[in-house]
Amino acid sequence: MKFLLHACCAPCSVQCVQAFKEEGLTPDLFWYNPNIHPYTEYRSRRDTLSRFAMEEGLNLFEEDEYGLRLFLAGLYCGGDGASNHPWESPARCVFCYKLRLGKAAAYAAANGYDAFSTTLLISPYQNHDLIKENGEKFAAQYRLEFIYRDFRPRFREGQRLAREREYYMQKYCGCVFSEEERYAKN
């Protein structure tokens, strides 16, 4: 099976890739994360993922688009239609999942993949129901399989291994709003 794994960052990828390899699936990685802000954060995550892919001998395909303007415009103009405040979670998360999973599915379909998934599934901070719903929707649209796995039990080990490998470790989900929420708590 030709399999594409949308990757949000190296720390989240470590255990997802390991788990898939344990199942006999070696994924190609796909970077598309226009939600990440600021640019220095975007670049740090992208570059660390590139290092991880090289160390693991994995193919990495990048849609390298720093997309703050795209993300904000889509959020305010498109969003999910369910909120007067599109920057609040879960409205912004719905839009973000659609944006990233839609691009991953389109890339997978255009490049002969049979299935796709995402490293977002390792985070205990993500909405798995929304990720799964959107992954399955795009899988049906592009005639692919969306491989859902609940990797959350592997989260702490993945974080430990990422620190051991001295990977860049982010402090928030990625978007400007999650950055604000993270640092406003202190």
93 is in an annotated binding site: yes
* Tokens coding 113: 């993949």
12 is in an annotated binding site: no
Question: Do residues 149 and 15 touch, judged by C-beta distance below 8 A?
Answer: no
175 is in an annotated binding site: no
9 is in an annotated binding site: yes
* Tokens coding 18: 């390991």
**Helix locations, the chain, DSSP H:** 10-22, 39-56, 68-77, 91-110, 128-142, 155-164, 176-184
80 secondary structure, DSSP code: -
Q: Rounded to an integer, what is the distance from CA 154 to the centroid of its chain?
A: 16
Q: What is the CA radius of gyration of the chain?
A: 15
Using CA atoms, how far apart are residues 37 and 73, in angstroms rounded to an integer?
14
Q: List residues forming the annotated binding site.
A: 8-9, 93, 96
Q: List residues forming the annotated binding site for [4Fe-4S] cluster.
A: 8-9, 93, 96
